[in-house]
Each structure stands twice: as C-alpha cells, then as structure tokens.
Amino acid sequence: MEDFRELIKNKKPQSRTLEKMKEVLKEPGGELSRIIYDVYRNVATADNLRYDLTFLYPGKIKDELPKTYGHYHKNSMMEIMEVVSGKSLWLIQKYENDPKIIKEAYLIEAKKGEKAIFPTNFGAISINPREEEKTVLSNWVSLKTESDYLPYKQFHGACYYILKNESGEIIFEKNPNYTNVPELIKLKPKEIPELEITFSKPLYEFSAGQLEFLNNPKKYKNILTIENCYTKI
C-alpha cells in the first residue's frame, strides 16, 4: 500500500476547529482555534468513488472524547471506513420519520485494519478513544453521496455524548436534546467474505467491484445489514 503520508503530500486538509465544533459538543471548552480533526478529501478517486483520510487528534474537550461533527447521508448512500492507525469508535444512529426520535443506536469498536460499513439511513460520528495518540481513518464513498449535517447541528451532537471520567472509564450519556434515545448496543465489525471485505487488505487497495455497493446501495440493502456486518460484544 502507498503510505498514507504519501497520499496527502502537498495537499491541504479541511480543518475542523473547536470554533466550528461548538454546536455539537456537550460543553465546549478551550482554545477556539484548536484543531479537533483534519479531513483530506479526494486523495484518490476511482469509478465514481472518492477516498478520504481523517486525522482525529487526541485530547478531551472538557470530559468529552474528540469526535467528528456527524452527518447522515441522503439517497440511502452507504460508506465504508477503515482504521488506518490507532483505534476508533463509531456511534451510528438511525431514525424513521422524526430525527429527534432515534430508533437504533450502536457503538462500534475497531482497531487498525478493521473496516466498518454504515448501512443505509445511518448517521455516524467517529471518536478517538485514546488520549495519547491520533486516530487515522480512511473511507471510500460514492461521489453521488450528499451529507446532511442538520440533525447533528439542531440537537447539538449525536444521541449520546461519549465522555471519559478521571479514572479513565468511558461513559455514555444520553443527549437530552433528543426525544427518544434507545439503549446503546456495542458491536465490532466482521469480515464479509461474500463481498471480499477483509481486514487484511488495506481499504485503499479495494477494487471497484468490491466497492460496488457504494454506488448501488439499493441492490445491497438487504445484504449489508447490521446483523451481517457486525458481531455484538
């Protein structure tokens, strides 16, 4: 695999500062110019797909673990993400008609090489659970994908805030701005041999065939379900 540092050489990231993240944090605190994460978009393209890299820097914001802003996808589009280095948590959530009423919420834990597919209609945030090391994530997504950031903005974040207390325990606190938040179910990603989705091959090297589900989500809607993509832990 090409080293990810090569892919971003001479490229400028889009930086999300604390200033921009204020509206989705439980309690903003600290320097407003602090960069919470950097996104390098479009570092590679293939077959109507885009490859991005995200650097999620360590260090809590008050009690909250650093995270991405969060968004849903319009038009039933899916996404595949990989941990390139460090560890990641993803909080994914889904509503039916009212974005204030969450029907399903999952916490996915993943380590280097593991890949997670966010099935149709799930919104997601990425979280860096470690305080001493950055998390590097990569993703492929269809160029047809449109993001919807509004519910995360309106309700000041995802349906849970993910905090770390002084003894180093991770705590999940329901976000009171939602009307209904279900219990959080913990998952880990699994390989999907039928679609050649394995953890040994870097996501960057996946073929257009392996990633076809990103451009044709309707065809894979019943295959790429929570049950088929994850194991409960």
Specify the long-range contacts of residues 220-223, CB closer than 8 Å, at least 24 apart: 220/78, 221/76, 221/119, 221/120, 223/194, 223/195
82 is an interface residue for Fe ion by CB under 5 A = no
Size of the site for Fe ion (CB under 5 A): 1
DSSP 3-state of 55: strand
- Only segment of 19-27, 36-44, 79-87, 89-97 that touches Fe ion (CB under 5 A): 79-87
Residue nearest to Fe ion (CB): 79
Distances 89 to 96, 127, 183 between C-alpha atoms, Å: 24, 5, 16
Phi-psi region of 96 (alpha: psi -120 to 50; beta: other; left: phi over 0): alpha
Our CB check for Fe ion shows the closer of 84 and 163 to be: 84
Please, how many CA atoms are within 13 Å of residue 59, restricted to the half-sphere of its CB? 10
If DSSP codes are grouped into helix, strand and coil, which group holds residue 196?
Answer: coil
How near is the Cβ of 214 to Fe ion at its closest, in Å?
A: 11
Binding mask 21-60 for Fe ion (x = CB under 5 A): ----------------------------------------
Least separation in angstroms between CB 213 and Fe ion: 14
Report whether 22 contacts 55 (CB < 8 A).
no
Least distance to Fe ion, CB of residue 153, Å: 15
The answer to the question of residue 114 lying near Fe ion (CB under 5 A) is no
Contact between 79 and Fe ion per CB under 5 A: yes
The nearest distance, CB 79 to Fe ion, in angstroms, is: 5
Nearer to Fe ion, 106 or 163 (CB): 106
CA distance 74 to 123: 10
Contact set with Fe ion (CB under 5 A): 79
